[in-house]
Structure 1
């Protein structure tokens, strides 16, 4: 991949002969077209492709959370790329012949703000409910930190989330579930985010629960 300065006709995008032009992180770049290969993928390559597809599908649903609250959006790696690397490395377990999720290791946010303490997960008619202990003033935690909840249904890959489900001082919150998730066993994560969104906590996996 090479970078280039805009000439008299400006930058180009798309394919021109054997070259592809594009914009990447504010720079104009050119790439050569990949060569077609008739090789059969090795077992390791197939496993990597499966892992990539699984993580890519998951990140597509939680993108609005990841792009705001996962690591630092500076340097070469975007927040999505940081999440992709972590999930592929830490959150997938090989159970021959396929990979499976270890949801307890999935993170939907990653930061330095004080996280949730003494969390409990419950379900009521049409809603997921969460309780916790108000730990305001620990570190940089404040009473008005916003609660972010993410609910994921592995069977349908549906995601339900709220970026403002409550405040740290509330010690309880609920998130309404759509009717199409009735009877589904879902996975749930929570995190706190400062009101100005400059700080955020590393998320906590709350567990799985069946929607009623």
Structure 2
């Protein structure tokens, strides 16, 4: 809103362009008119619908994992959230609007970092739950036998997950995650990460590895 001074030579009234003019208490008031919605806001093109659906579906897929992703991307949270970091790969590489399901879990990365990851990891079903194993590479690169093991079992269709932040150590070469909760027979998307605290504020963490839907 703006007030036009009395000294103005032209004192319009009514609608002019994108503004309306009216007199109030002897002064001419100029107020911008509300903009009409863009036609695509109410009638999007098929391609725009694909983009809109992709954004909504990827957000719904990642939102339940926000705490997990903030932990896995904690060295990068000065720029954006963990969900934002994970969103990029899932939406650009792991989303196919013609597939079923449309989101490919192999493109979800729950952590990012320079620590050496697992070698030849494997996840299988056993009578005790899900067994996750790997080959000893604790003497290679920046790895350490005491590195923590982090496991995520995700059930996106139920918006449920099991996050075990301290499942074991790299030297253990295997962890077994029991499935004693609801629906133990249902499949889980399995992810494995190693990490090691450097100090109270800094974490050395590996890129996560997707081990399949088990």
Q: TM-score interval w.r.t. the shorter chain?
A: 0.7 to 0.9
Q: Deviations over 1:149-193 (max 9, x none)?
A: 111124312111101111001001012224312221221111111
**Partner of residue 80, structure 1:** 83
**Partner of residue 166, structure 1:** 168
Tell me how far 1:127 sits from its aligned partner: 1.9
1:1-150 map, 5 Å:
39-70=42-73, 72-73=75-76, 75-95=78-98, 100-125=102-127, 127-150=129-152
**Structure 1: 4+ residue segments shifted above 6 A:** none
Hey, what's the Cα distance between the residues in 2 that align with 1:60 and 1:123? Answer: 27
Hey, what's the Cα distance between the residues in 2 that align with 1:76 and 1:131? Answer: 34
Matched-pair contact (CA < 8 Å) for 1:72–1:79: no
Hey, what's the Cα distance between the residues in 2 that align with 1:85 and 1:188? Answer: 20
Tell me how far 1:47 sits from its aligned partner: 1.2
Q: Deviations over 1:16-37 (max 9, x none)?
A: xxxxxxxxxxxxxxxxxx9855
Counterparts in 2 of 1:149 and 1:74: CA distance versus 1, 3 Å? closer
What is the SS of the residue equivalent to 2:112? coil
What is the SS of the residue equivalent to 1:139? coil
Flag the structure with larger Rg. Answer: 2
Counterparts in 2 of 1:44 and 1:75: CA distance versus 1, 3 Å? farther
1:173-192 map, 5 Å:
173-192=175-194
Gaps (5+ residues) in structure 2?
1-34
Matched-pair contact (CA < 8 Å) for 1:160–1:177: no
What is the SS of the residue equivalent to 2:204? coil
Matched-pair contact (CA < 8 Å) for 2:58–2:103: no
> What is the TM-score with the length of structure 2 in the denominator?
0.72
Tell me how far 1:126 sits from its aligned partner: 5.1
Counterparts in 2 of 1:59 and 1:155: CA distance versus 1, 3 Å? closer
Bigger shift: residues 144-153 or 125-134: 125-134
The count of aligned residue pairs is 176
> What is the TM-score with the length of structure 1 in the denominator?
0.73
Measured on the aligned residues, the alpha-carbon RMSD in Å equals 2.5
Hey, what's the Cα distance between the residues in 1 that align with 2:80 and 2:111? Answer: 15
